[in-house]
Amino acid sequence: MKTIIICGVGGQGIILASDILSDVLMEAGFDVKKSEVHGMSQRGGDVITTIRYGEKIYSPIVGEDSADLILAFEKLEALRTLKYLRKDGTMLINDYRWDPIPVATGTMEYPEEEILPKIREKTKHIQTVDALAKAKELGNIKVVNLYLLGLLAKELGLEKSLWAAMISRRVPPKAKEVNLKAFDQGYGEVRS
Partner 1 sequence: MKELLSGNEAIARGAWEAGLHFAAAYPGTPSTEIMENLSRYKEVFCEWSTNEKVALEVALGATFAGARAIVSQKHVGLNVAADPFFSASYIGVTGGFVIVTADDPGMHSSQNEQDNRHYARAARMPLMEPSDSQEAKEFTRMAYDISEKFDTPILMRMTTRTSHSKSLVELGERKEVPIVPYQKDTLKRLLLPGHARKRHVFVEKRMEDLAEFSNTFPGNFIHWGDREIGYIASGISYQYAREAFPEASFLKISFSYPLPEKLIREFAAGVKKIVVIEENDPIMETEIKAMLCGQAEVHGKDLIPRQGELNPNILRESMGLSSKSVAPQTSLPPRPPALCAGCPHTSVFYTLHQLKAIVTGDIGCYTLGAMAPLSSIDTTVDMGASISNAHGMDITFRLLGGERKKVVGVIGDSTFFHSGITSLIDMVYNRGMSTVVILDNRITAMTGHQQNPGTGLTIKGDPTVQVDIEALVKACGVKDVHVVDPYDLKNLKKVISEAMDREEPSVVITKRPCVLLFKKSKWTSCKVDRDLCIGCKICVQLGCPAISFKEKKSSIDPMLCTACGLCADLCPKKAISLSQEGGRAIREAWDFETKSMKKEEA
Q: Which residues bind partner 1 (CB under 8 A)?
A: 9, 22-23, 26, 31-37, 39-46, 57-66, 76, 79-80, 82-83, 99-106, 108-111, 114, 118
Q: Considering beta carbons, is residue 51 or 189 the nearer one to partner 1? A: 51
Q: How many whole angstroms separate alpha carbon 149 and alpha carbon 147?
A: 5
Q: How many whole angstroms separate alpha carbon 76 and alpha carbon 93?
A: 10
Q: Give the closest residue to 28 by CA, choosing from 170, 159, 152.
A: 159
3-state secondary structure of 36: strand
Q: Considering beta carbons, is residue 41 or 161 the nearer one to partner 1? A: 41
3-state secondary structure of 68: strand
Please, what is the minimum distance in Å from the beta carbon of residue 42 to partner 1? Answer: 6
Please, what is the minimum distance in Å from the beta carbon of residue 188 to partner 1? Answer: 28
Q: Considering beta carbons, is residue 44 or 188 the nearer one to partner 1? A: 44
Please, what is the minimum distance in Å from the beta carbon of residue 71 to partner 1? Answer: 18
Q: How many whole angstroms separate alpha carbon 73 and alpha carbon 1?
A: 24
CB 75 within 8 A of CB 103: no
Please, what is the minimum distance in Å from the beta carbon of residue 171 to partner 1? Answer: 17
Q: Considering beta carbons, is residue 35 or 127 the nearer one to partner 1? A: 35
